[in-house]
Amino acid sequence: MQKILEKLKEIFKDKYNICFGIILIIAILSRIVLLEQFPNGIHEDEAGMMYDAYCMAEYGTDRYLNENPVYLINFGGGQSVLYAAIASLLIRLFGLSVFVIKLPAVIFSIITIILAYLLAKKYIGKRFALILAFLITICPWHIMQSRWGLDCNLLSSFIMISIYTLLNAKKDWHYIISGVFWGLTLYTYALSYIMLPVFFIVLCIYLLYVKKITIKQIVITIIPILVLAIPLILLQIVNYIGKGTIKLGFITIPQLYTYRISEIGFENVLYNLNINNGNNIWQLLFSADHNAINSLKEFGTIHYILIPFVVFGFILIIKETIKTIKEKEFNLKTVFLIQFITIFFCVLVFSDLQLYKLNPLFIMMLVFATEAILWIYNKKAILGHFIIASLIIVFILFEIFYFKNINNKTGVAFNRDFIPLVNYLEEEYPDKEIFMETDAIQQYIYLLLAKQMSPYEFMDNMKLVQYRTGETEVVEVSRYHFIYWEINKDTIYVLEEGNVFRSNSVEKIKSELENEGFQKEQYGKFLIYSFQE
């Protein structure tokens, strides 16, 4: 105990460590305060992951009864499994709740800030490390991705962990652990199957060149990566051939209903680079996308004020990289530059760019901004202080705006009404067939969460329709129905007023029910129709 106290005393003698401690507290608070209320509700992809995590925690399978799946089928097109696997462990410890489902995103966002600080402090300098930690802490993109449970939101964190473990490895077993983290990163997001190998190969070439690593150490690192990659390689083979789900020992390689390999192609490069096209890469990097759950156009992804610093810092780091490469000196900034450039070009081949597809790039942009701000500090400290003060003000304004507006901006993407509605229907109409036409995307998944239905009951009582396009839809679960056929007087009809997605069908059904003499009951924004003789 005495040694621990002495160590803490030594740590807090350093003013940079004290400042970092304050930054860390701000980072934790800005990500965890009112986590269940902002954004309010559950996104459909988050709901799908949440239910699979619950099934894995309680039954050892996903919702389709796949034991230890290497990839989740989700709504047909798939979802990476690592977030759900981590969430399932937390569910076992703390039970199922929205807070628990969002917690992995918070935890790993904080780990990212800590490791970025430690890496930069060791290889660049204390002031650089402190500014970088500060910029990540106040970054709108990083705060927003930390507050909801999307599988790919772990990608940037696991890349940082992988880099940290590789650069700090000394013994053979350290490289094995690093390889495990690089391999696990493949389970954070399917697009990492392209990003990660390209980045890793170029990084290893660089580390060999500056004699930071040996061929033997690279081989040791690659072995666990390959072992962990094998199930995912089999996943691609199974889905390309289309021969059905296979069980391999204790894991399952699932066949998806929709195989999305068509989302990748070199024909996407020019489109993504064209500034006149919607959601082009420049817009996503420096502004925002069309989806308020990813970014707020009022503040941008990294704060608009930082854009010139990103550009200037990028130029400075390129110059420094050229110099250190000529001298065969290791430079952490070069590692970050390699990450940015390799992943940037990988991203260009993806269709339908969204902000979350670019998430390994933003921390690197903050590295560039840090370089520029530190350069200004070294030239004129007063200007550096002014920049930091301005960023603190912008951060405060962002926090106020976020908590005041985010729940209005997410619209129907985060459903907050379906689960209470199901609880009410279960109590008031326990024996009736129920038809639902609401704004909930993938209505059935919220039903499963509300009832905490076992995956066995789900599979025994669900009806799945697969369309010619390959898309699938669950149209029935037990006594709940989501496809309208005809009026049945023994059925309860639930319609959502102000329905955005299904407004035409709601009005049609509403008119038919009223013509048939159904009585209307109001529950919140829902209309519940029942027929009474």
Predicted confidence (pLDDT) at residue 75 exceeds the cutoff of 80 = yes
In this structure, the number of other CB atoms found within 10 A of the CB of residue 8 comes to 11
Spell out where 426-502 has E strands: 433-437, 462-466, 472-477, 480-481, 491-496
- pLDDT band at residue 54 using 50, 70 and 90 as cut-offs: very high
Query: Which has more confidence, 3 or 239?
Result: 239
Most confident among 287-291, 364-368, 410-414 (mean pLDDT): 364-368
Task: Taking residues 473-477, report their average pLDDT.
Answer: 93
Task: Taking residues 462-468, report their average pLDDT.
Answer: 84
- pLDDT band at residue 46 using 50, 70 and 90 as cut-offs: very high
Q: What is the DSSP string of 361-387?
A: THHHHHHHHHHHHHHHHHH-HHHHHHH
Distant-in-sequence, close-in-space partners of 251: CB < 8 Å, separation ≥ 6: 67, 68, 69, 70, 231
Predicted confidence (pLDDT) at residue 501 exceeds the cutoff of 80 = no
Task: Taking residues 7-24, report their average pLDDT.
Answer: 79
Predicted confidence (pLDDT) at residue 400 exceeds the cutoff of 80 = yes
The pLDDT tens digits of the residues spanning 337-353 come to: 999 999 999 999 998 89
Predicted confidence (pLDDT) at residue 250 exceeds the cutoff of 80 = yes
Task: Taking residues 403-420, report their average pLDDT.
Answer: 91
Distance, CA of 34 to CA of 42 (rounded, Å): 14
Three-state DSSP state, 521: strand
Predicted confidence (pLDDT) at residue 6 exceeds the cutoff of 70 = no
Distant-in-sequence, close-in-space partners of 319: CB < 8 Å, separation ≥ 6: none
Q: How high is the pLDDT of residue 473?
A: 87
List strands edge to edge, sheet with 491-496: 462-466, 472-477, 480-481, 433-437, 491-496, 526-530, 519-523
Nearest to 306, CA basis, from 377, 381, 379, 371:
371
Q: How high is the pLDDT of residue 486?
A: 85
Mean predicted lDDT score pLDDT of the chain: 93
Three-state DSSP state, 229: helix
Predicted confidence (pLDDT) at residue 261 exceeds the cutoff of 70 = no
Three-state DSSP state, 480: strand
Distance, CA of 82 to CA of 157 (rounded, Å): 12
Q: How high is the pLDDT of residue 266?
A: 87
Task: Taking residues 41-61, report their average pLDDT.
Answer: 96
Q: Torsion over CA of 37, 41, 45 and 51, rounded to 10 degrees?
A: 90
The two three-digit tokens of residue 411, written as one number: 């619209």
Distance, CA of 493 to CA of 528 (rounded, Å): 6
The pLDDT tens digits of the residues spanning 183-198 come to: 999 999 999 999 999 9
Three-state DSSP state, 186: coil
Backbone conformation region of residue 524, classed left if phi is above 0, alpha if psi is from -120 to 50, else beta: left
**Angle, CA 459 vertex, CA 457 and CA 461 arms, to 5°:** 65
Question: Are β-strands 462-466 and 526-530 bridged in parallel, bridged antiparallel, or unpaired?
Answer: unpaired
Q: How high is the pLDDT of residue 317?
A: 98
**What interhelical angle do 44-59 and 82-94 show, nearest 10?**
60
Q: How high is the pLDDT of residue 188?
A: 97
Distance, CA of 127 to CA of 134 (rounded, Å): 11
Which residue type sits at 474?
A: V
The two three-digit tokens of residue 461, written as one number: 């009582």
Predicted confidence (pLDDT) at residue 7 exceeds the cutoff of 90 = no
Give the phi and the psi of residue 279 in degrees, each rounded to 5. 55, 40
The pLDDT tens digits of the residues spanning 129-178 come to: 999 999 999 999 999 999 999 999 999 999 999 999 999 999 999 999 99
* Percent composition of the chain: helix, strand, coil (DSSP 3-state, to 5): 60, 10, 30
The pLDDT tens digits of the residues spanning 207-227 come to: 999 999 999 999 999 999 999
Q: How high is the pLDDT of residue 263?
A: 73
Please classify residue 311 by burial: count the beta carbons closer than 10 Å to its beta carbon, then call 0-12 exposed, 13-18 middle and 19+ buried.
Answer: middle
The pLDDT tens digits of the residues spanning 429-458 come to: 999 999 999 988 899 999 999 999 999 999
Q: How high is the pLDDT of residue 476?
A: 95
Report yes or no: 445 and 54 within 8 Å, Cβ to Cβ.
no
Q: How high is the pLDDT of residue 4?
A: 60
Distance, CA of 137 to CA of 24 (rounded, Å): 8
